[in-house]
């Protein structure tokens, strides 16, 4: 959810002092990276899963604070809206049966929270955009009662000159709306995959994550409907970008695919944070510079679809990880862990390529691929490593699945694990049935049903726990 802010209001002096500390910590990180002071360690995987709380009427239920208080689980925390929650997992070294360990922990946490939700007359849903959400649900009265979110909303509004936000998303249908605040962002729930990497590999992993964003969003698409309109396969992408847009301010967008690959070092991202993004949460921390508290807080207010993060291990040593933010929530735990396995394995194999990332796929092509895949899913035409166009489905089947298999084996993932998790991806590609395609096919099969009927059928299938390629209509 991002760290809470203790100070409710800030002064210009706070901003100036924060920027000074941010600059100092950025220089310190530069020294660590150039001197090799950051420890390497094995690759470690993790995740965050955002979810919905829905009532008996299948509408968003703003009682997440009550559920969290009853649950009292450190792995389940608040999100932007009082009908959203975030599930976290224990990071796992990517070897042996790590993927099944992730899946088992998430399934246990989910079922435990689901039991407590039932005690509130509610249930949990993991889906990129809840089909039944309405504009009147996305209001400030439903914002989580935390300083962080109130300040972010106010500061983002100020940065765009208090202009209203304009949502304009063209798919099969078109949606045009104006909004005054960031609450429409709470309609976008995701599965954020984390990969802890050795610092010398961080720049390449970051760049390769951009290349992989298109096939990942295509194979994981699960957000076709917003306010009853049939839009993109992964409508989360334009919705999140437009909800946090800077309008005519001339400022760099805080949600974007980025402006290019990093050229030499992951430090370039943090240097850009310092130089190009106004500080919007200038809370001062009484911590030594080595904790990078201000650098991490500022980085947490810039939501690139691929984002480098600095964290700290249990022994207090710092680490670098790359956050892959393009995958939506759902449809099931097996689907999510399978997509994570695809990402971990494909990254590992692509690291063995001799060419720099820009030679594999130029950045403008990777960017174009990403938005095409978000619009059209598996049938999107992408330009891949050989420069020729092919559908995302073909690229995943013929290139990325074999790569992921090789990469997971190099990481030391057990062979039966590889067969299990990549087998789910292979089957999904074989049927072509992602969550988005299932939702669209269900609506076409049941034209007399509304979005509540779709969500009820979706939740029934989700409860059974089978991966989405097995879901009947």
- Residue 248: per-residue pLDDT: 84
Which residue numbers in the chain have pLDDT < 70? 1-2
| HSE-CB for 232 with a 13 A CA cutoff | 25
Q: CA 11, 12, 17: angle at the middle one, nearest 5?
A: 100
- Residue 250: per-residue pLDDT: 79
Q: Where are the domains of the chain?
A: 12-468
CA 367, CA 263: separation in Å to the nearest integer?
16
DSSP string, 28-88: HHHHHHHHT-S-----EEEEEEEEEEE-TTSSB---HHHHHHHH--TTEEE-SBTTEEEEE
- Residue 1: per-residue pLDDT: 43
- Residue 285: per-residue pLDDT: 94
Question: Is 444 in a helix, a strand, or coil?
Answer: helix
465 by Cβ neighbours in 10 Å (0-12 / 13-18 / 19+) ranks as middle
- Residue 443: per-residue pLDDT: 97
- Residue 289: per-residue pLDDT: 96
CA 340, CA 321: separation in Å to the nearest integer?
14
CA 14, CA 298: separation in Å to the nearest integer?
14
Q: Please list, residue by residue across 308-337, b when 16 or more beta carbons sit within 10 angstroms of its beta carbon and e when fewer do.
A: bebbeeeeeebbbbbbbbbbbbbbbbbbbb
Interval 237-284: pLDDT, tens: 999 999 999 988 878 899 999 989 999 999 999 999 999 999 999 999
Task: Name, in order, each residue with C-beta under 8 angstroms of 184's C-beta and a sequence gap of 6 or more.
Answer: 138, 165, 167, 239, 243
- Residue 358: per-residue pLDDT: 81
Question: Is 195 in a helix, a strand, or coil?
Answer: strand
Topology of 12-468 in CATH? Creatine Kinase; Chain A, domain 2 (3.30.590)
Task: Say if residues 171 and 235 touch (Cβ distance below 8 Å).
Answer: yes
């Amino acid at each position: 959810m991002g760290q809470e802010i203790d100070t409710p209001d800030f002064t210009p002096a706070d901003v100036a002092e924060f920027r000074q500390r941010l600059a100092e910590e950025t220089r310190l990180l530069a020294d660590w990276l150039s001197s090799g002071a950051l420890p390497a360690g094995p690759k470690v995987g993790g995740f965050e899963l955002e979810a919905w709380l829905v009532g008996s009427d299948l509408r968003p239920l703003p009682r997440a604070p009550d559920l969290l208080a009853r649950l009292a689980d450190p792995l389940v925390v608040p999100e932007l809206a009082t009908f959203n929650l975030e599930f976290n997992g224990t990071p796992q070294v990517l070897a042996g049966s790590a993927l099944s360990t992730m899946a088992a922990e998430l399934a246990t946490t989910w079922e435990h929270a689901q039991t407590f939700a039932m005690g509130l007359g509610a249930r949990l849903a993991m889906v990129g955009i809840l089909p039944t959400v309405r504009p009147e649900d996305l209001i400030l009265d439903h914002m989580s009662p935390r300083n962080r979110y109130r300040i972010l909303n106010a500061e983002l509004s100020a940065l765009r000159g208090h202009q209203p936000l304009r949502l304009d998303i063209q798919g099969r249908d078109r949606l045009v709306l104006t909004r005054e605040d960031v609450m429409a962002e709470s309609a976008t729930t995701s599965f954020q995959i984390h990969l802890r990497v050795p610092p010398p590999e961080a720049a390449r992993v970051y760049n390769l994550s951009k290349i992989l964003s298109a096939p990942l969003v295509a194979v994981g698409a699960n957000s076709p409907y917003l306010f009853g309109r049939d839009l993109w396969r992964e409508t989360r992408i334009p919705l999140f970008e437009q909800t946090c847009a800077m309008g005519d301010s001339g400022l760099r967008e805080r949600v974007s695919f980025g402006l290019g690959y990093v050229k030499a070092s992951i430090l370039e991202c943090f240097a850009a944070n310092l130089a190009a993004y106004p500080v919007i949460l200038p809370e001062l921390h009484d911590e030594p510079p080595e904790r990078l508290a201000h650098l991490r807080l500022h980085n947490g207010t810039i939501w690139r679809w691929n984002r480098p993060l600095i964290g700290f291990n249990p022994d207090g040593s710092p680490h670098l990880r790359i956050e892959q933010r393009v995958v939506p929530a759902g449809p099931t735990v097996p689907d999510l862990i399978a997509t994570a396995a695809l990402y971990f394995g494909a990254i590992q194999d692509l690291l063995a390529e001799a060419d720099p990332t820009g030679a594999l796929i130029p950045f403008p092509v990777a960017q174009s691929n990403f938005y095409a895949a978000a619009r059209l899913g598996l049938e999107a035409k992408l330009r891949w490593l050989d420069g020729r166009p092919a559908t995302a489905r073909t690229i995943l089947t013929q290139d990325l699945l074999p790569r992921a298999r090789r990469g997971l084996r190099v990481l030391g993932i057990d062979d039966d694990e590889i067969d299990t998790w990549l087998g789910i991806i292979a089957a999904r590609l074989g049927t072509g049935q992602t969550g988005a395609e299932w939702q669209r096919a269900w609506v076409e099969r049941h034209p007399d049903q509304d979005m509540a009927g779709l969500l009820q059928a979706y939740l029934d299938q989700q409860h059974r726990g089978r991966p989405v390629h097995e879901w009947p209509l």
